[in-house]
Amino acid sequence: MQQRRFRGLGALVLALLPGLLAGCGPSAVGNAGEPALREDDRALSANEPYLVRDINTQGLGSRPEAVAVVNGTLFFIRGSGSGAGLWKSDGMEAGTVLVRSANGFSSARFLTDVGGTLFFYDGTNHALWKSDGTQEGTLSVKGNVPQVVATAAVNGRLFLLTSTSLWVSDGTEAGTVPIQGDAFTSARGLVAVNGTLYFSATTSAGVHLWKSDGTASGTAPLKLVSASALTTLELVPVNGTLFFLVNDSRLDDAVWRSDGTAEGTFPLQGELGGFASLVASNGRIFFSGLKDLWTSDGTKDGTVRVASPGDSISALVATPRGVVFSIWRDDTGEVLWKSDGTASGTAPVVDPCPATSFGEPYKLASTRSAAFFLVNCNPGSADDALWKSDGTESGTGRVKDDSPRILDNSSIEPSITADVNGTLFFWADDGVHGFEPWKSDGTTAGTVLVRDTVPARAGSDPQSLVSIGNTIFFTANDGSNGRRLWKSDGTIPGTVSLEASGASQLTAVNGRLFFIQDRVLLRSDGTDAGTVKLHTFPSSSTTGYPTYVSSLVDFGGTLFFTVWDDTHAELWKSDGTVDGTVRVKELFTGYSGEIGYPVVMNGTLYFIVGSGSKSLELWKSDGTAGGTARVKILLQKDASINGGSVRSMVAVNGKLFLLLQPLASNNLPLQLWRSDGTEAGTQSFPELFSRTKSPEALAGIDGTLFLVSGRGLELWKSDGTVEGTSLIRQLLSVSGNEYPTLGTMANVRGRLYLTLYAPARARWELWRSDGTVAGTGLVQPLQLGDQNNSNAYSLATFAEAGKRIFFIQDGGEGREPWALPLAPVECPLGLPAVEATGPDGARVDFPTFQRAGDVASSLPVSTSIASGSLFPMGTTQVTLTASDPAYPATTCTFSVTVQDTTAPDLKCPGTVTRTFPAEVKVDYQPATATDAVSTPVLEYSIPSGSTFPLGTTSVEVKATDTAGNKSSCAFNVVVQARPLGCGCGATSPSAALAWLLALIPLVARRRQLSSR
């Protein structure tokens, strides 16, 4: 009985325990990620790119835009490239540093010292800046300041002269305001004399000398100098008096003076000829006419002729004691003279080039101790020697025998030299570092490089790549001979220059090269002897408008090109001889119209004629005057558009396809047109335009039309019909404010090659497409050095010759010609990643390898890893080998990527239900997760065995595999409340225990009653 009673109590407790537990049904959510678009670098291997030749071995240099001295420190601006920004120098290498990079400003000029603070003007963004010589203290003062032409400092304020207004700044945005505007035009030459500003400006009456006290009411014309608007004034202040040289193209030059009053503004000397110059020295003014040297103290009586050697005077340079200048004589050539302003003190000093008749000095700069200038004994060369003179014979001579090539001050505005406490700072190129800051104290030992601020190579900047057979032609600058015509067979010995300079529009026709050299048509067989002039065109029309020779194209083995100006346009042709270079037809007269976009289709030449502001017309020609006619007017100016321009024109399968841009104030969309060469068959093609999502560029490759659309540069292909049009792939993934740029598209061995700028990788790239996904991908990154930006269209170019892709790259030598040898069999470029089937990866079958068109189908092809092999996780390089003696490369490489992007298969338990009067600990069955590659790790939002409250609680489960793929599901734990009595009302374990303890005495009493 006792045992039975104990079992009864235990059974009661056991019966109550299940009421403390609960559960729920499953609620699983799958979250398998999809494969991302891959853009891995896939480059050729044994045919890796190589430098063809380092043409320009000089340093890049740091050509400055402007310089100024503030409190004994030199400041200068570099406007572009590596190290662009504001620099300062104390004359030592360690003290020559970048103050602030050009982030926020560019084309900074007019550096001005205003009470110890440097001010400069950003001409690109039209903003005024100031600097205390630190990065933090270099700040923008004010934007929207009109284009500045001159600056000057007066009484702690900066004055800025624009062509039509005068501004003032106290260094604050609120204090930077215009003083006077719209009262004049063509203002220039701002100088300060005793606190008064002077400048020249034009009104309806002519050119005036103006003055200003810095207020609107105090800014007014002082004196009418010339009725001709072509007159210019060169202003030079000396000891409180303003002197100025008046240059009038209709009259002889004259020297004037002004004391700030109309009466005190008058000419001192006229009839100086057309080559006068004006300098100041020792409180006097010196000026020269064609054959006379003059000096003046500012009065008419004090204006005297110092010398009349009877020969040509030139190159007047101020020295501390007067001037030095050059006199040409038939018997001696150029001889250097000096003058202190007296007849007795005017005499020859030295013949700087005794072995030649040359030696005219070129002004560089003057310091407080000497004048520095350049002398060249070999005109046309860069052999400028640095000279100095203190105005005496003994103090005049060559500073440095092996002078570096100096950036001449005579051709650069504003000045790029500076006097820092008697030491001259200038920019020179020693043939190693490029143009960099130098300094000179007038001695050989004291003339040294300050610092190589841009330790990089200059490069030759190849342009206009054109292939003829196995030779590539281009233009390049070797740093010594300027831009010349070059040719290359891909080897160092075979990369040589021709004598032709200034070549442009290089065009291959029937195995010969044609090009334009300053409106002269030339033909070349690749040798200097075989380079001949065919025809010289006038430099301008009868109205002075330039003549353009353009649109050179091979039409049936004959060169066709166009000649046009503001009054007419003509079609010409040339068979490579002088007599065979003739006009085909005059297309129109009476207005300006460009001719361009020549395309040959089915034995007919098509081209665009017209003006962007009038109309665009499609023309065609069979090479004769009678067979040259207009096909159709495509766009014409009317009420809705202002004309138009052409983006692309290509021929595919006997049809022309054109992308046109109507011009209007409301940015009209592009238009796609199609033409069969007839007026009726030339129509807009909006269906294909819409199908390909508004393309922005076209290319025709062996019967396939390629179109590029959208921000991500979607590449489409088409047979010219809507039905035969499909998307190949999006070339780039873009986000945020990224905007890729499309460069060149061309046909190379039946493949589309194109260049594009990838903003996410901040570089230009060369891509290839055969019209398939696997055959579309990156071939080669293009490193363009300091020009590696989205605007470098002309550099992101290429051409194929001798089964090599020639392109431009900066591999540390500056931008130079590079080549990529091609293999007879192409490696796939756009292989999609393969999903792993197990921990060891996946088996991968290769696609069919594409052979070049001239390669036999029987050519053996092998791979370093066989097709169908098991590839491990990650990326594996596979080398393809195929040898053909006609191809310079025998191998290429491609990537096979095995990835795990499949989320684990996760299953949650069902609903767990427990009944209990209060919160209770609940154990539940674990979730299950399987994965083909790895063992997933499970995470629960509430672990099993936790205390769950009354009601329904959701438990979330996450499964993560080794690759980071995640799945999730959820289930419910339900705790149901039971009221007291029969244990159903228990709300917690403690309440249930209290109920049990109360129940025991009742059971015992019942036992006692039963025993009676």
pLDDT for res 568: 82
The better pLDDT of the pair 903, 358 is held by 903
pLDDT > 90? residue 374: no
Mean pLDDT in residue range 520-533: 96
* pLDDT band per the 50, 70, 90 thresholds, residue 402: low
In the prediction, which pLDDT does 411 show? 43
Number of Cα atoms under 13 Å in the Cβ half of residue 761? 17
How confident is the model over 889-939, as pLDDT tens digits? 999 999 999 999 999 999 999 999 999 999 999 999 999 999 999 999 999
pLDDT given at position 25? 35
Q: Which tokens hold the place of 887?
A: 């191809």
pLDDT at 333 over 90: no
How remote is the C-alpha of 593 from its chain's centroid? Answer: 30
pLDDT tens track for 571-594: 999 999 999 999 999 987 766 567
What CA–CA distance (Å, rounded) separates 889 from 883? 8
- What DSSP state is assigned to residue 374? E
Of 421, 332, 461, 408, the residue nearest 73 (C-alpha): 421
Please tell me which residue, 15 or 250, carries the higher pLDDT value.
250
Closest CA to 841 of 792, 897, 887, 795: 897
pLDDT in the model for residue 38: 30
Q: What are phi and psi of 359, to 5 degrees?
A: 130, 25
How far CA 217 is from CA of 137, 202, 220, in Å, comes to 34, 18, 8
Residue 993 has pLDDT above 60, yes or no: no
Distances (CA, A) of 114 to 117, 122, 424, 542: 5, 17, 21, 49
pLDDT at 414: 46
What is the rounded CA–CA span in Å between residue 414 and residue 244?
Answer: 18
Bridge partners (DSSP) of residue 440 are 424
Q: Tell me, what's the pLDDT at 248? A: 79
Question: Which of 954, 965, 892 lies closest to 931 in space, CA to CA?
Answer: 965
Q: Which pair of tokens denotes residue 122?
A: 């950003």
What pLDDT score was predicted for residue 29? 32
Give residue 381's pLDDT band: very low, low, confident or very high (50, 70, 90): low
Is 726's pLDDT higher than 90? yes
**Stated length of the chain:** 1012
The per-residue pLDDT for range 849-904, each reduced to its tens digit, is 999 889 999 999 999 999 999 999 999 999 999 999 999 999 999 999 999 999 99
Q: Nearest-CA neighbor of 951 among 923, 914, 908?
A: 914
More confident residue, 44 or 58: 58
Look at residue 606 and tell me whether its pLDDT is greater than 50.
yes
The confidence score (pLDDT) of residue 520 equals 96
- Binned at pLDDT 50, 70 and 90, residue 141 comes out as very high
Nearest of 731, 726, 815 to residue 779 by alpha carbon: 731
Dihedral of the alpha carbons of 709, 713, 715, 718, in degrees to the nearest 10: 10
Q: What is the pLDDT of residue 1008?
A: 53
Q: What is the token pair recorded at 889?
A: 């490369």
What is the reported pLDDT for 788?
Answer: 77
- Phi, then psi, of 90 in degrees rounded to 5: -100, 10
Average pLDDT across the chain, whole number: 86
Q: How far apart are CA 1012 and CA 1002, in angstroms?
A: 16
pLDDT confidence of 598, banded at 50, 70, 90?
A: very high
pLDDT at 736: 87
Residue 485: which residues within 8 A CB-CB, separation 6 or more? 473, 474, 475, 497, 498, 499, 500, 501, 503, 506, 515, 524, 531
Q: Characterize 630-660 residue by residue with b for buried, 16 or more Cβ atoms within 10 angstroms of its Cβ, and e for exposed.
A: ebbebbebeeebbbbbbbbbbbbbebbbbbb
- Taking residues 186-201, report their average pLDDT: 95
> E strands, 408-547, where?
418-420, 423-429, 435-440, 448-449, 463-468, 471-477, 483-488, 496-501, 504-509, 512-516, 520-524, 532-536
pLDDT at residue 532 tops 50: yes
Q: What is the model's pLDDT at position 21?
A: 33
Residue 378's pLDDT band, with cuts at 50, 70 and 90, is confident
pLDDT value, residue 997: 55
> Comparing 983 with 275, which gets the higher pLDDT?
275
User: What amino acid is encoded at 592 in this protein?
Assistant: S
At residue 301, what is the residue type? Answer: D
State how far the Cα of 560 lies from the Cα of 578, in Å rounded to an integer.
14
Task: For the chain, give the percent of residues with pLDDT over 90.
Answer: 63
Count of C-beta atoms within a 10 Å radius of residue 205 = 11
- Give the confidence band of 636 by pLDDT, cuts at 50, 70, 90: confident
pLDDT of residue 407: 62
pLDDT at 360: 73
Point out which residues pair with 754 in neighbouring strands: 745, 767
Highest mean predicted confidence (pLDDT) among 310-319, 374-383, 485-494: 485-494
Could you tell me which residue, 611 or 822, shows the higher pLDDT?
822
Query: CB–CB of 119/128 below 8 Å?
Result: yes
Using a 10 angstrom Cβ sphere, with 0-12 exposed, 13-18 middle and 19 or more buried, the burial of residue 763 is: middle
Single-letter residue type at 578: V
* The two structure tokens encoding residue 958: 């996450």
| pLDDT of residue 661 exceeding 50 | yes
The mean pLDDT value for 810-826 works out to 92
Sheet containing 185-193: give its strands across. Answer: 185-193, 196-203, 206-212, 219-226
Mean pLDDT, rounded, for 471-475: 96
Q: Is the pLDDT of residue 663 over 70?
A: yes
Q: Which of 11-15, 264-268, 319-323, 938-942 shows the lowest per-residue confidence on average (mean pLDDT)?
A: 11-15
Q: What is the pLDDT of residue 593?
A: 66
